[in-house]
Amino acid sequence: MSGRVAIAGVGQTVYKRRHEDVNSGELVRRAAMQALDDAGLGMDAIGLVIGGVAPDALAGLNHMDLGAIARPGIPYFRVNTGGATGSSAVLAAISWIASGRCDAVLVVALERMGHASTSQKVFNSIFDPIYEKDISVTTISMVAMRATMLMQDQGYNQRHWAELTAKNARAAQHNDTIDRKRVFTADEVLASPILAWPIRQLEACPMSEGACAVVLTAEHLARDRNVAWIHGAAGLSDTYAMGDRIHRAEGSLVELHTLVESARKAYAQAGVTRPSEQVDCVEIHAPFSSAEAMAYTALGLVGDDSGPQFADRLIDGSERIVVNPSGGPQMVNPVSAAALVRIVECALQVRGTAGARQHDAIRRAVATGQGGATQFSTCVVLGADRP
C-alpha cells in the first residue's frame, strides 16, 4: 500500500437475537459515536461514510442503510458481500485513504435479521437454482458436507467439532458485547440434536443483531494515538456454484481458494513469510467449528495434515496462537457486521484494549471474512507497530 492506514477508533453495540427497543438509526449512532470518540475525531473530519449491509431480504427492510447510516453532505456508498460485508467495506476504506482521496473514513455495519421471519429461507436460497436444486443444498447441509470432507481427508472427528465449539463458548464468557452467553461442554454439544450429520444444534451460530463501526485514518491523524495499523489487506471472489468448486486444480471446497489467495496477498504486503511464527492472534469468520478448522490451513497456520493437532493444542490451551478470543461468530453472528467485528476484535487485541478478553503479547493479528457460499473472502493483517 502506498499510504499507511490505521484503525484509530472502534465501536460496537451489544449483539442479541433481536433489539426490540432500538431502531436501526440508534444502533448505528451508538456504534459510530463510540468509534469517533475512540478516534478523537468528530464527523467534520470524516471524508467518506461506508455502510455495510448484507442482502435486504435478511432483515426484510429495503435499503435501511440510507436512513440509518448515510449522512447528508458526506460521500456515501454501501457494500454487500454477504457475511464478508463488513471486511469488504474496510478494504474499500483502505483504498480511499491510501490513494489520498480522504484522510478519514467511517465504516458502519448494521444487521437487523432478527426482525424477519424468513432469514433462514434466504440463507438456503444462496445456492445455484438450476444445477444444484435437485440435491437440496442448504446452509447447514453444505457445512455438513465440508465437515465430513475434513474428517475424511485430514483426520478430524466429531469430538474436535464439539471441543472447538466449547472452546469458543468459554472465550465468549469474557465478551461484554454478547447479550446472552451460551455455556456448554463438549459432551453437551455431542448430546444435542443432529441438524445434518455431523453438525449438531449447539454447533450452529445463533441469529444476531447489532451494529459495529470503525474509523480508519491516514498516518498523520494516527500519530501519537494508540492505533492498530493496517499491515496488509486483500479480498477475492469466486463462483457461487458449489459444484464448480468440488474438483479443480485450485483445491476443493475445503481448501478455501479465495481465502488462501487473500491471505497470500495480505501476508506479502505485511512481510509475513511464516504465519505460524509471526502471527499472534487470529479472528476467523467461522459460524461453525468445522469452518474454523478449514481456515487453519488456508491461513498457513498449519500444514495440510496437521490441522487436527493444531486443534488439539487450541483445545488444551498449549497453542501459542490465540484463535477467536472473542468467541467468534459461532457464538454471535450479526451477518452484515460479523466480518467487521473480526477486524475490531483484532484491533482491540493489538492495541491492548480488549478488556477481560485481552491476551498477552499480541503484536500482530489476522482477521478473516467469508461471504455468500464462501465465494467471498477477505484477509486483513493488523499490527501494533507502524508498518
CB distance 143 to 291 below 8 Å: yes
| Centroid of chain to Cα 104 | 22
CATH class of 5-118+209-214: alpha beta
**Per-residue pLDDT tens listing for the chain (387 residues):** 458 999 999 999 999 999 999 999 999 999 999 999 999 999 999 999 999 999 888 888 888 899 899 999 999 999 999 999 999 999 999 999 999 999 999 999 999 999 888 887 887 777 777 877 777 788 899 999 999 999 999 999 999 999 999 999 999 999 999 998 989 999 999 999 999 999 999 999 999 999 999 999 999 999 899 999 999 999 999 987 777 887 787 778 889 999 999 999 999 999 999 999 999 999 999 999 999 999 999 999 998 779 999 999 999 999 999 999 999 999 999 999 999 999 999 999 999 999 999 999 999 999 999 998 889 999 999 999 999
pLDDT of residue 125: 79
DSSP string, 66-127: HHHT--TTS-EEEE--GGGHHHHHHHHHHHHHHTTS-SEEEEEEEE-GGG-S-HHHHHTTSS
Interatomic CA distance for residues 199 and 288, integer angstroms: 9
Interatomic CA distance for residues 7 and 226, integer angstroms: 9
DSSP-assigned beta bridge partners for residue 114: none
Interatomic CA distance for residues 339 and 358, integer angstroms: 19
Write the DSSP symbol of residue 161: H
Interatomic CA distance for residues 42 and 284, integer angstroms: 31
Q: Sign of the C-alpha dihedral, residues 26, 31, 32, 36?
A: positive
Q: What are phi and psi of 109, to 5 degrees?
A: -115, 135
Which amino acid is it at 302? V
Interatomic CA distance for residues 88 and 80, integer angstroms: 8
Interatomic CA distance for residues 167 and 169, integer angstroms: 5
pLDDT of residue 117: 81
DSSP string, 117-168: S-HHHHHTTSS-TTTSGGGT--HHHHHHHHHHHHHHHH---HHHHHHHHHHH
pTM of the model: 0.97
> What residue spans define the domains of the chain?
5-118+209-214
Write the DSSP symbol of residue 252: -
Record the cell numbers describing residue 70, joined without a space. Answer: 448515510
